[in-house]
Amino acid sequence: MLFRRTVLAGLTALALSPLAATAAELPDLKGKTVVVVTENAYPPLQFVDPKTGKQIGWEYDAMNEIAKRLNFKVEYQNTSWDAMIQAVSDNQYNIGMTGITIKDDRKAKVDFSDPYMRSQQFMLVRGDETRFTDAKTFGAFNDGLVGAQPGTSPFYAAVYEILDGNEQNPRIKLFETFGATVQALKAGDVDVVLTDSVAAQGYVDASNGGLKVIGGPLGTEDFGFIFPKGSDLVGPVNAAIASLKADGTFDKLNKTWFLDYKMGQ
């Protein structure tokens, strides 16, 4: 079994289609309520602000703007990552968002929006780590443990790009949330957590030297919102995504959450 990735460059909002819709051309959903579910465990995409208790992040700002342009009311709900795709597939929610990688096997259960972000994965380690410096040296460090959520892209990257291709490899320690993997890393219970550059940099900047990123990028992921199969929201949301790219709104959100927010931590 091979873990397949598309090798692309950098973290960026995706390239703009020349046929992107303008705001005036967007569908009008006439104020309908759309239930959007998220995990709130993936800073700076979506998380709970420890200072205010409010749900904030790049994806919240993007979804709120999509709702404004399409004229629908958002009702946010929360669930765990391991339950999210199935719950959306079962029509418990209208849209799911939590930095979800667009993958063919997931398309069997849910429909995806067009990609709204592209992100590479990196190795997050403790700030004083010196026993290994990249994926190759970690793979050869037999005592090293990886923390991951089962069924996620970081899990498969650890299995097929760093370790031996055995999904039952005892060097992988499983956790229910991404935040739990980071806490295990800080506590010394695991030695590496794989995550995209967005979350990695957010945790590094908030750690006061307690965490760092090592090695080069391990691959690239495209993120999309998910919908129940056959959802009539996919087309309108895709039109709104194109509009947000066209007028620079995504660029502004990138500056807000990937630069200004981190610098203010």
Tokens of 4: 């397949």
| Across 142-155, average pLDDT | 90
Q: Quick one: which of 6, 262, 238 has its CA closest to 116?
A: 238
Q: Which of 120-124, 157-161, 234-238 has the highest mean pLDDT?
A: 234-238
Q: Which domains does the chain have, with CATH numbers?
A: 23-116+224-263 (3.40.190.10), 119-220 (3.40.190.10)
Length of the chain: 265
- Read off the pLDDT of residues 86-95 as tens digits, 9 standing for 90 and up: 999 999 999 9
Give 97: exposed, middle or buried? Use CB within 10 Å, 0-12, 13-18, 19+: buried
**Mean pLDDT of all residues in the chain?**
87
Residue 161 or 96, more confident: 96
Q: Quick one: which of 171, 165, 217, 177 has its CA closest to 190?
A: 171
- Read off the pLDDT of residues 199-242 as tens digits, 9 standing for 90 and up: 787 788 889 999 999 999 987 789 999 999 999 999 999 999 99
Residues 23/234, Cβ–Cβ less than 8 Å: no
Distance separating alpha carbons of residues 43 and 179, to the nearest angstrom: 9
CB neighbour list of residue 38: distance below 8 Å, 6 or more residues apart: 46, 55, 59, 76, 77, 78, 96, 97, 98
**Is pLDDT of 188 > 80?**
yes
Tokens of 171: 């060097």
Tokens of 81: 């990552």
Q: Write down the pTM of the prediction.
A: 0.70
Q: Is the dihedral of CA 102, 236, 57, 177 positive or negative?
A: negative
**Is pLDDT of 10 > 60?**
no
| Across 32-57, average pLDDT | 92
Residue 118 or 258, more confident: 118
